[in-house]
Amino acid sequence: MPNRDDTITFEGARRPDRQYIVSTSGIDIAVYEWGAPNADPLLLAHGGSDFAGTFDVFAPLLAAGGWRVIAWDQRGHGDSGRSDLYGWSADLRDLKAVFDHVGHDPVVAVGHSKGGELLCDFTEAHPARIKKFVNLDGLPSRRPAPDIQDHERTQLRREDITTWLDYRRGLHDYNRRPGTLQEIVERRKKMNPRLSDEWLTYIATIGARKDPEGWRWKVDPAIRFGGFGPSRPYWGLYRMAGFSMPFLGVLGMVPEQMGWGTKPEEVMPWLPRHGRLEVLEETGHFVHIERPHRVAELVLEFLAQ
């Protein structure tokens, strides 16, 4: 079980009802569930540098709507195992392993930020396995089309892989800097400036580990945005346009360090035929944490249609 101080609580937050391990490609993936085990499954994918514990308010609201909510810590995050290298393809394999463990019937999928983009890729490859799809502020801005020339693609791959390997080599045996609980809360606050200290302290006791030197966030310091090998988040827009299942996109309009700054007018032309976009003013990138009740209401309403 995660190392945390169980005296720290937060209003509305509830730890998972069940927890287990799914092993894939030599990595143990920590999986969590809320709600009745025989209810229809709804899978939740968290964003980069995050962990499933950030769903502790949002997931119980969805479970109260009659769903078996399933989330997992991505490799190198939370209580899942670490890897020598990290990359988009590895995250997709882990995602598929969790989906396969749940079953092979079509399911509802909800992803935040990077999790939303991972689900875009998975949905393109396995459309029959997604019943309905909700993307929470994981909709990137449109950029130049990815149909670059072969020689440019080769250079891109060489540059990305060389840079990643140099970065990984420099972090051999590196550990995150320890600190007091309040100090790591302040570090997280740079990512989530709109969240209360009470909420940040609560999630710190789940997403960080206390050892004799102090508290450290569990995220592997070797992880960096972009992962190993060429991939561009905005490619997801091109994939999304062809989705055939009902789709709900949610955008938070207040710019934040971790957000993508996507505007509604950049998304609307790429919405799938059965797509809908909800815009939350006065809300930052972490829409499901900042406004869990409103976002859960939107999701449950969408799923009931």
Q: What is the pLDDT of residues 244-257, one digit of tens each?
A: 999 999 999 999 98
φ, ψ for residue 192 (rounded to 5)? Answer: -125, 65
State residue 75 phi and psi, 5-degree precision. -55, 135
What confidence category does residue 284 fall into, taking pLDDT thresholds of 50, 70 and 90? very high
Q: What distances in angstroms separate CA 21 from CA 32, 42, 162, one per listed residue?
A: 9, 18, 33
CATH superfamily of 18-147+232-304: Alpha/Beta hydrolase fold, catalytic domain (3.40.50.1820)
Q: What values do phi and psi take at 130, rounded to 5?
A: -115, 120
Please write the tens of the pLDDT for every residue from 58-110: 999 999 999 999 999 999 999 999 998 788 889 999 999 999 999 999 999 99
Query: Strands 107-112 and 40-45: what pairing?
Result: parallel
φ/ψ (deg, to 5) at 163: -65, -40
Whether residue 233 has pLDDT greater than 90:
no
Question: What tens digit of pLDDT does each residue of 115-135 get?
Answer: 999 999 999 999 999 999 999
pLDDT tier for residue 158 given thresholds of 50, 70 and 90 = low
